[in-house]
Chains A and B, each alone.
Chain A
Amino acid sequence: MTVGPVPFMALAAILFAIGLFGALSKKSAVMVLMSLELMTNAVNLNLVAVSRFVTPESMAGQFTAAFVMVVAAAEIGLGLALVLALYRKRRTVELDHIDELKG
């Protein structure tokens, strides 16, 4: 019994939707960042799966996934640093309480 690319793409789509739902509905900044990581993982899974089944020799999807990982790592590091800076200023990580553009 073997599987093709379509089950992997469906799995990645469902994981992306779960992450999108979390990123849009959560009110804690840390939970939003965690949901964004779920979405990034779904994208990586899709890239690797399609690359594995369609162009296995060139590995283009694997390289793209590796660079997506770099950007995601930078994003989560900066995002959490921003959360810490906001917490030090405002004593909260609730996104509903951080609604002013003034510093």
Chain B
Amino acid sequence: MPEQVALVPFLILAIATLGGGVMVVLSRNVVHAAFWLLEVMMAVAGLFMLLSAGFLALVQVMVYAGAVSVLVLFTVMLTLRRREDAIRSLDLSWSAAGIALAVLVAAAAAIASFTPTLPAAPVVTPGVEAFGRALFTSWALPFEISSVILLVALVGAVWWAGGGEK
């Protein structure tokens, strides 16, 4: 595991993340926005790799890039009657921009006043084996609860989206 986070890969992935995020919001075509969202997910997975969170990067690619973007694309295509319906107006509102900017300024102030107590270098980050060992020992209860959450979401999604008896 690397002990430092290099600058150049961070800059590349940061530009990919932010550019993709802006393109998600600024795309006129909903399908294009979904593909830009996929690009943002992949870039964030790269950032997880950079932060030596290899397992989370894998989960990010599998869950977000694999499942969520396909789900979004399916929904987009099921709710369009014509091909032209994918093109929309940009829907940009000044009040939303103001709220987002206010949140950004508040977060920037919080970050500026953040003085981390960094541990003395060199830092050796634990790998996937330590992650799994801790997940099934000290984090076992949240793990079980999250499986129940997924089951409830699964049943609820089938119930809502199916609804065959009507």
Contacts and interface: CB of A to CB of B under 8 A. Distances in A.
Contacts of B91: 25-28, 31
A24 B37 contact: no
A6 B111 contact: yes
Contact of B18 (A5, A11, A25, A49): A11
Interface residues of A, number: 69
B47 A45 contact: yes
Contacts of A31: 30, 33, 88, 91
Contacts of A4: 5, 116, 118
Contacts, number: 225
Nearest to A33: B72
Interface residues of B, number: 83
Interface of A: 1-11, 13-22, 24-28, 30-31, 33-35, 37-38, 41, 44-45, 48-50, 52-57, 59, 62-63, 65-67, 69-71, 73-78, 80-85, 87-88, 93
Contacts of B34: 34
A42 to B, nearest CB: 9
A35 B150 contact: no
Contacts of A59: 126, 130-131, 134
